[in-house]
Structure 1
Amino acid sequence: MLHVKHQKRNDFTTQLFEQAGIGKGMRVLDVGYATGEVSRLVARMVGTEGEVVGIDASGQMIEMAQQNNPDSNITYLQQDIYDLPENLGQFDAIVGRRVLMYLPDPERALELLIQHLKPNGIIAFQESDAINGGVGGDRLPRHQEAIQRVWKTVQAEGGDIHIGQKLYDLFLRLGIESPYIEAEAVMQTAEDNDLQWLTEIMIERMRAHHIVDDDFTLDQFKQEMTEEAKAHKVAFIRDMNFGVWGHVK
């Protein structure tokens, strides 16, 4: 199923989790919570009678996630996915967004995670995929370069930039029968995109992996992007969202 539209950041995620059946009163594990955005989204879905537990290997993320968390039904833990404690308990659902792509062995991670699912529990993940990245922006070379720099950085960090296309087979190998999968093109325009913001927050990572030259400056980059956008009113595909969910017997 393919939808092509300009979307708000959490629309696809919300739809995926709603389709999966996440709702009031559930206990949900959020894998790789980062800033806590997905945790907060799920907390609203399960309500005050439900509970969200977030795990992330990075200790630096806990403080940020807690500061961003106004909900009392969320708990954040620093925890290695490959070394989960038994007292983590059981969950009605396990979810994650853009986390499997960064794991060295996502299949093994999921095998360990589903041991903490209740019978017939839900597992739902959203991942980004570089497929078709930049399509439609032939008149926007600077914008296309920006897209490719982002993906080259993720790849240099060990990320699988085509994990989305592998999700269905990955879930089948876990023994999940007939997993549901969908994809959606992330459409942006020359005038309305997040490439300047992404480049700015990733610039040190790009420099560390020599994705940008020493003479690359954010000011010049932003100016060139702005000038290009003024000259060409074009829509393009930035990347693809893939979502998959199923029940674990």
Structure 2
Amino acid sequence: MKTLEEMKEEIKVYTKKQKESFQETDDSWNTITLYHGTTTKYLNDILKNGLTPRKENKVNNFSDVPSNEELVYLTTRWHYWYAYNANQESLIKQVGEKRFEEEDIETLWNETGDFPMYVTCEVPVEFLTLDEDVVYQRKIRKGFRDGTITSPADITVDMCLEQGTIASLQTISPEYINEIVILGNAEYKNYLLEGQYGADASNWFSGLGIGHSDLWELIMLEHSHFKKGNQALEVEYPPENNKPIKKIQLEDSGLSIIR
């Protein structure tokens, strides 16, 4: 039986071949809502170019986690976790680990202008392919053991979606982006990462499934109880209509975004 790492490498080869042979059809109206968590350090680039593969943008939110540089990685539910952790890595690079550990996060957000954020997209289903990290999830590992999964072709896009992450063969251009949400509420950050959502994310990273957090309930809390400091930006098309963001500042009244 192949090891998980061997299957992961096979998936990378498999998706690379898919990308090389991909031809967009007229079926791009058939879409699914997906998310991408990152940090506002890349906000203006996303407003201009959308979500592009790392090969094109040289951006890696997690420098110690290798990935396929030709794909765009998306999620059905872990965008908050990715946003906060990408922001943490970015802030540590800017202010150092000591200050990150000791100082108030809102102070660091304001000093750097670097906030966690996530992108909400309507992605054509035909763009979707496997996220190689799906091999670590329990249901997929079971398939390896019982012989129902022997090659990447045995893993479907739906299987990936069920496990919480997916990849796109194509750039997610601004026309497919609904909004970008800047997460400037530290209480919401703590509520998520220290609560059920954080526990579910930890279990998911251990391959134990997606857990029981209700995504829509979390989104409702984001827009109600934890609204202050969180702000959505509408993304326009064509991208030339999206004026660049000059400054993001957390004030007593909420988030101030200056173009």
Please indicate the TM-score interval, normalised by the length of the shorter structure: under 0.3
- TM-score, normalised to structure 2, is 0.24
Structure with bigger helix share is 2
